[in-house]
Amino acid sequence: MIEFSGDFESEHAPEELWKYFTDPDILAQCAPGCDHIEQESESELSATIAVGVGSVKPTFDVDMTVVEADEPNHLVMEAGGDASRNSFEAVAEMTLTETEDGGTHAEWEADANVSGLIASLGQRALGSVADRLVNNFFDDLEELADEGVPAESKISAKPEATASLED
Partner 1 sequence: MKPAAFEYHRPDSVAEATTLLADLGHDAELLAGNQSLGIIMANRLATPDHLVDLNRVEELSGYEIRDDEIDVGAMTTHRDLEFADDLRDVMPMLPEAAEQIAGPSVRNRGTLGGSIAEADPAGNYPAALVALDADLRVESTDDERTVAAREFFIAYMFTDLGPEEIITGVTVDREPFPVERTGMAFEELKRAAQTFPTVSAGTAVRVDDPDADEPVIEEARIALANVADVPLHVPDAEDAVEGTTLGEDALDEAAEAAIEAADPSPEMHADEEWKVELAGEYTRRSLRTAHTRAIND
Binding footprint of partner 1 on the chain (CB under 8 A): 33, 35, 50, 53-57, 59, 84-85, 117, 121-122, 124-125, 128-129, 131-132
Nearer to partner 1, 124 or 160 (CB): 124
Own/partner contacts of 138-144, CB < 8 Å, gap of 24 or more, are 138/8, 138/10, 138/106, 140/29, 140/30, 141/17, 141/20, 141/21, 141/26, 141/30, 142/8, 142/10, 142/11, 142/12, 144/20, 144/26, 144/29, 144/30
Distance in angstroms (rounded) separating the CA atoms of residues 29 and 44: 18
Q: Which one, 46 or 59, has the nearer CB to partner 1? A: 59
The whole-angstrom distance between residue 94's C-alpha and the CA centroid of its chain comes to: 9
Nearer to partner 1 by C-beta: 133 or 163?
Answer: 133
CB closer to partner 1 out of 39 and 59: 59
Q: Cβ 127 to partner 1, closest distance in Å?
A: 9
Give min distance, CB of 112 to partner 1, in A.
16
123 touches 111 (CB < 8 A)? no
Cβ at position 12, least distance to partner 1 in Å: 25
Task: In angstroms, give the least distance from the CB of 128 to partner 1.
Answer: 4
Q: Which is nearer to partner 1, 129 or 144 (CB)?
A: 129
Least separation in angstroms between residue 32's CB and partner 1 is 10
CA–CA separation, 46 and 64 (whole Å): 6
Helices and strands (H, E) in the chain, number of each type: 3, 7
